[in-house]
Structure formats: C-alpha cells, structure tokens
Structure 1
Amino acid sequence: MSTDKGRPALPKSLKACLIATVLLLAALVLINQPLKTGSAHQGIVSYQLAGSAEQALAIVQSWGEDGLQWAKISLWVDFLFIPIYCITLILLTRRCTLDRPGIRERTTARWIRTLFIVAGLADIAENVLLLNNLETPTDAISIAAAISALTKFTALTIGIAGLVIIRAARRHPLAPG
C-alpha cells in the first residue's frame, strides 16, 4: 500500500506506536509542570541529573508532598513510556532502512537499534534509582542515576542522529515498496 506521493504507507504498528509515544510524552510533559521549582528548573530532568545527595534533597524538598506524588507518578508513567518509545524507535529504524540494502547501512542500523535498547535499559535503571532516592537521597544513588540519565540521553541522541545520517546518505526518499 502506498501513499499519494508514491511512498509506502506507514505500517499500522508504527503508526500506533508513534501515537502512543506522543500521547505518553505529552502526559509526561504535563505531569512535569508542577515539578518545576527554583531548585528544579527542568522538573524531573533536574532530579535525574542531580549528581549529589545535597542537590537531590534540595529538589525533593522544593517539591513538597504534592510534588513528591507527581514525581512518583512521572517515574511510573515513564516505566510505561520506555518500552513504547524503544519499540517506536526500533520500528522507525526498520522503516528508515527499507530501501538501504548496503552492508554499511545494515550495520549502522544494528548499532542504532542497539543504542535505543541501551537507552531503554539505562532509563529503567535510572527510574529504579530515582524511586529509591526519593526518601533519603544518597550520593551513590544520585550519581548512579545521573550516569544512567546521561547514558540514556547520549544513546538516544546518537541513535536519532544515526537515523538522520542513514536517510541522508543517498539523498532520496523511500522508494515505493
């Protein structure tokens, strides 16, 4: 099945995953709003990147009891988001390499998929660490969570950049399938 421009239509599984990803991302953005404080300018992201117990404690205290509940909700919703965004990115990688039969493109696609899986695993580890750091933050857990968050963000950034490079490599759109 192709679109009116001659390109193959998006598979239903990719469409469904894209919609679910966007909806869960929107939910996480909304949940994050009450978590933005003077100590946490970026809300939960500030907490993810807090590299010390002192910094994490200042953020948790700035949230108060209501904010703490929102933080827990954010982390639990993120557990739902992780497999959805990983599957979406893997399906998107498959889609972007449909007309890329070369060895380099296939090898690059495998590395990109691996990066997305690493990002998901780092995100899971980060969430577990952050949930355990809410009551009494420690330096060890704060640093481990920050390293996990940085691993996740780095893997996602490099993976998405890889997708752009794969698509731009031959400078032509997806051919009709």
Structure 2
Amino acid sequence: MLVLERGMRKTGGPGIIPFELAGNAERAQEILTAWGEQGRHWARWSLWLDFGYMLTYGTLALLLIERVRSRRGDPIALRLVPICAVAGDAVEGVALLKVLDGVNLDRNARHARAAALAKFVLLAVGLVYTVVGGVRPRS
C-alpha cells in the first residue's frame, strides 16, 4: 500500500486518506486534477486492494474483540463493531471508485467521507475496548 501511496503523492496530489475525507465535489475534483491520470491509476489500485485488506483487518479486529468480550462476559453485540467498520469501508471504497469514474462527485464524495469517518470511529472504539478490556478485568 505504501508504493501506491507514494505513486499518488509523486503526482503532487495527496494520498488516499485526504481523498477518502474530501467530502464534496469541489475538493474531490481538486484531488483528481492534482493526481492526473497517473495518480488516479494509483488510487484505483489502492481502493481495489483495500477490499482484500478489509477482510484481513476486519477478521483480526473481530478476533481481538471476541477474545476480550468472551473473557469479560460482555454482550455479543460487540462483534458488530468490526463488522460495521468493514461495511463502512466497503461503502467508502465503492463511493470513491465512482468518484474516480466521475459519477455524481458530490454525492459520492459525501458518502465516502461519512463512511470513512464511521469506519475510523468504529475501529478506534474497537481498539480502545480491546486495550482497556484486555488490561482491566470486569468489575
């Protein structure tokens, strides 16, 4: 993924995370223009590879949360945290691929940003739960 990130940045544009968080047609178009064809190529590869990466980090997060959850006897619904994060990442990826294709930039940039923010929040919640729950026994 670092090679793809460097490819995007070599064009003078940002990496993939600012693209994920663009949030509107104007900012998305600025990024697409800065990237040009070469940067868009790198971004497209990054997004497609991210679909495989989602399964990896989603599975790892689910296993870590499940380990803490089962030891503490916490609700089974906690399993939804990484599942929803991966779902948000998938929505984000599809929306960004549409932005790269020039399809309804404003709507897809907004959807991508909302999904990315949800993903980041859910992953942070899962990480905090795993660290805190793994260190401190249930009272």
Q: Does 2:35 match 1:68?
A: no
Q: Does 2:29 match 1:57?
A: yes
Q: CA deviation at 1:95?
A: 3.2
Q: CA RMSD for the aligned pairs?
A: 1.9
The alignment's TM-score, normalised by the length of structure 2, stands at: 0.88
Q: Which runs of 4+ in 1 moved over 4 A?
A: none
What CA distance in whole angstroms lies between the structure 2 residues aligned with 1:154 and 1:111?
Answer: 17
Partner amino acid, structure 1, of 2:79: R
Gaps of 5+ in 2: none
Match of 1:142 among 75, 85, 109: 109
Partner amino acid, structure 2, of 1:82: M
Deviations along 1:86-129, one digit per CA (max 9) or x if unpaired, are 1111112233456x2x43xx22xx34421110000000000000
What CA distance in whole angstroms lies between the structure 2 residues aligned with 1:65 and 1:127?
Answer: 19
Q: Are the aligned partners of 2:4 and 2:46 in contact in 1 as well (CA < 8 Å)?
A: yes
Q: Are the aligned partners of 1:113 and 1:159 in contact in 2 as well (CA < 8 Å)?
A: no
1:121 maps to which residue? Answer: 87
1:153 maps to which residue? Answer: 120
Partner amino acid, structure 1, of 2:32: V
Q: Does 2:3 match 1:30?
A: yes
- Larger Rg, first or second structure (1 or 2): 1
Deviations along 1:26-75, one digit per CA (max 9) or x if unpaired, are xx2331122236552xx000000001101001101111111111101000
SS at 1:95's partner residue?
Answer: helix
Partner amino acid, structure 1, of 2:81: L
Q: Are the aligned partners of 1:115 and 1:156 in contact in 2 as well (CA < 8 Å)?
A: yes
Match of 1:85 among 40, 43, 57: 57
Partner amino acid, structure 2, of 1:124: A
Partner amino acid, structure 1, of 2:55: P
What CA distance in whole angstroms lies between the structure 2 residues aligned with 1:161 and 1:111?
Answer: 16
Gaps of 5+ in 1: 1-27, 172-177
SS at 2:137's partner residue?
Answer: coil
SS at 2:100's partner residue?
Answer: coil
1:163 maps to which residue? Answer: 130
- What is the aligned length? 136
What CA distance in whole angstroms lies between the structure 2 residues aligned with 1:60 and 1:29?
Answer: 19
